[in-house]
């Protein structure tokens, strides 16, 4: 069931992105920022001048998605996602849980049990010294590559998804960055890709116009975890501490996205420093599910590398809601498509009325 339904009553009434900013000697901004206290979101744009958009930007993310102000756009086509097999690594970055993708070819798929993946852009053999997954400093950039091509929908260019981030809360009532009608979800999975027709990788694209696509799937609690999400989180117990990583079995990214083509879209920003306003956001109108037990496992993750010093939980890694500043949020959800309403003249309408309204699904309002 989707987040939105047709409001009949109203219708009748009317890397972790690589941070390239110049640093003071001996200071690492990538290590500095957090989600709380004097290094939290309130101060991102104050302490580091290179992140000024975090405090002064007018198209910041995340935002609350108000069903009553959505604009129906009949020209929004379905989002087209390649069915390429991808694998990669699940990494505890100390800021979030991140899935760093690599494309899997047929010959790699046969060797996937040995965690032997090859970077198609740089020809790097990504096998560790012991034959297992490689160990890398978490602040070094991964080779940026387009794992899965995405086009259509609100996009004028082709984008290549290469990593995903999971935001979640320490309590069930919060965790997602975006909200629907001021309703927060326990978690949100954000899939990031770069404009592969204009820019070479996600690092470069992040600070350039039309640079980034973010497909964001809200996550609801359920009896079982959605199969594709379960595959990604299978090695969760091996990434308890910051800097740890584990290989992810191959899967199709298209299986991770809801099976229908309805979505909401708007223009916004990255939700972490430097908050560049270069992101086209697409939010499918259907959630993924995570089990209660898997949610408990997520809440055992820690920011730091070990237990012997102060080690805060990784959860509550979400940026507060930002002002929408009257931005347009469009949708292709058309509740009249199968049974268009009668006009006063007795004819069927071919598309939605210009004053046709949405409301949040009753389950979100209960």
Catalytic residue ranges: 199
Residues, the chain, total?
A: 366
- CA atoms of 15 and 101, how far apart (whole Å): 12
Q: Tokens 């990784």 identify what position?
A: 314
- CA atoms of 25 and 206, how far apart (whole Å): 24
Cα torsion at 25, 31, 32, 37 (round to 10°)?
-170
């Amino acid at each position: 069931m989707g987040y939105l339904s047709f409001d009949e009553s109203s219708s009748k009434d009317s890397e972790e992105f690589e941070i390239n900013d110049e640093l003071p000697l001996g200071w690492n901004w990538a290590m500095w920022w957090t989600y709380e206290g004097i290094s939290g979101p309130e101060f991102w744009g104050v302490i580091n001048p290179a992140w000024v958009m975090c405090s002064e930007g007018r198209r910041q993310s995340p935002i609350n998605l108000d069903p009553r102000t959505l604009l129906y756009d009949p020209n929004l086509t379905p989002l087209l996602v390649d069915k390429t097999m991808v694998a990669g690594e699940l990494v505890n970055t100390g800021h979030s849980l991140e899935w760093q993708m690599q494309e899997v070819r047929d010959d790699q798929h046969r060797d996937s049990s040995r965690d032997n993946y090859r970077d198609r852009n740089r020809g790097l053999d990504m096998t560790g010294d012991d034959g297992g997954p490689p160990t890398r400093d978490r602040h070094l950039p991964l080779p940026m590559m387009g794992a899965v091509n995405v086009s259509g929908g609100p996009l004028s260019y082709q984008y290549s998804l290469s990593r995903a981030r999971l935001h979640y809360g320490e309590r069930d009532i919060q965790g997602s960055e975006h909200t629907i009608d001021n309703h927060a979800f326990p978690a949100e999975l954000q899939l990031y890709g770069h404009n592969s027709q204009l820019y070479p990788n996600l690092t470069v694209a992040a600070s350039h116009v039309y640079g980034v696509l973010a497909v964001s799937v809200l996550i609801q609690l359920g009896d079982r975890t959605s199969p594709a999400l379960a595959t990604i989180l299978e090695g969760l117990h091996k990434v308890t501490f910051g800097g740890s990583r584990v290989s992810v079995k191959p899967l199709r990214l298209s299986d991770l996205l809801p099976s229908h083509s309805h979505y909401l879209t708007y223009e916004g920003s990255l939700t972490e420093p430097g908050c560049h306003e270069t992101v086209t956001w697409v939010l499918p109108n259907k959630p993924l599910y995570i089990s209660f037990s898997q949610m408990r496992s997520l809440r055992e993750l820690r920011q730091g590398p070990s237990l012997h010093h102060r080690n805060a939980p990784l959860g509550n890694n979400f940026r507060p809601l930002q002002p929408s500043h009257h931005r347009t949020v469009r949708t292709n959800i058309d509740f009249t498509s199968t049974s268009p309403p009668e006009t006063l003249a007795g004819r069927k309408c071919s598309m939605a009325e210009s004053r046709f309204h949405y409301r949040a699904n009753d389950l979100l309002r209960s």
